Amino acid sequence: MNTRNVSSALRVGIAGAGAIGCTLAALLARAGARVHVLARGASLTSLRSEGVRLHRRGDCLQAPVLASDDASGLGPQDVLFLCAKAHDMQQLLRSALPMIGPETCVVPLVNGVPWWYFQALPGPWQGRRVQAVDPEGTLSALLPATQIVGAVVFITAERVRPGEVVSDNPLLMVLGEIDHAGSSARLQRLADWLERAGIEARVTPQIRDALWTKILANLTSNPLSVISGATLQSIYGDTRLLAIVWEMLREGLSLAAAFGARIAFTPANFIREGAAMGAVRTSMLQDFEAGRRLELAAIGDAVLELATLQDIAMPVTERVIALAHFRDEARAASDDIAPVDPTQLPKPNKEVFHEQCR
């Protein structure tokens, strides 16, 4: 590790005290960073009274952090991690604006296709909005591309109570500038601090290539977990679910290739590593079971939006996303769904049925 880049304490802002935000806060605070957490409600109360607590591989790390619900009191940061669901990002970013100075490096940690995907991207799509996640261009207008560092996060964590999380799997974050290829001093400094905190940090000159790995991981696991209730181990290990995963992965790889992405994994390794994550519930399944809004727009709808731009068919993916939407809507309106009376169903045309089934 390049120790000269970690000689002075880094001012780290964490906007959002969910599972990932608390994991980062605990590890970076232990590493010596000055951690400031923008939180509210029960999370704010817990962080102020007990600090942040991380249970990891049998150990419990408890670290004090400065927590507030007023970003003005926390002030500009060297680095600001935006830790929120895609549908909550606009509200979070607005509330965190006082933490962003002219030199602040802003790292959005989101699942699925990020709103900044087409920002500063050379070629025919430059400047286009991802309608599914930023329909009015608000996020693009609030934050210039020059201040954004793209990040692909491979961290599984679960919040057990406000301010307290569990994370046992390996920790990895891939970083890259979104407005140019290559590295930068701010990337190297951030990577060094993450390494110091025990998080493997990789700097890539092509962040969108790395991003597609996470997009495909989200796509093949999250919606399917809502439909099936399965953990990652089952999604990537049970032959019945794996058959669907393979088709979704094939469709997703075709889309990634159409956008010029160079994928660094083989499908077999992708499946193997997914199964190795163990009996972990996806974040979307956790949200579904808790009655929270699902990230289907960023993880599913945005991918299908990109497929439409490239005129690429994704029939299996489209059906899985549709089923996940149905499960979400049925959960929200379960009391309004009348039971079906089988005697009122139309009788099938047997001749047509037999002809279609030949």
Q: How far apart are CA 248 and CA 246, in angstroms?
A: 6
85 is catalytic: no
Query: Residue 101: what residue type?
Result: G
Helix, strand, or coil (residue 332): helix
- Around Cβ 8, how many Cβ atoms within 10 Å? 10
Closest CA to 280 of 164, 173, 169: 169
Query: Residue 195: what residue type?
Result: E
Cβ atoms 138, 172 nearer than 8 A:
no
The catalytic position among 85, 214, 347, 350 is 214
Compute CA distances 180 → 1, 29, 176, whole Å: 24, 30, 9
Closest CA to 168 of 58, 80, 273, 274: 58
User: Which residues neighbour 351 within 8 Å (Cβ) at sequence distance 6 or greater?
Assistant: none
Bridge pairing between strands 34-38 and 66-68? parallel
Query: Residue 137: what residue type?
Result: G
Among all residues, which ones are annotated catalytic?
214
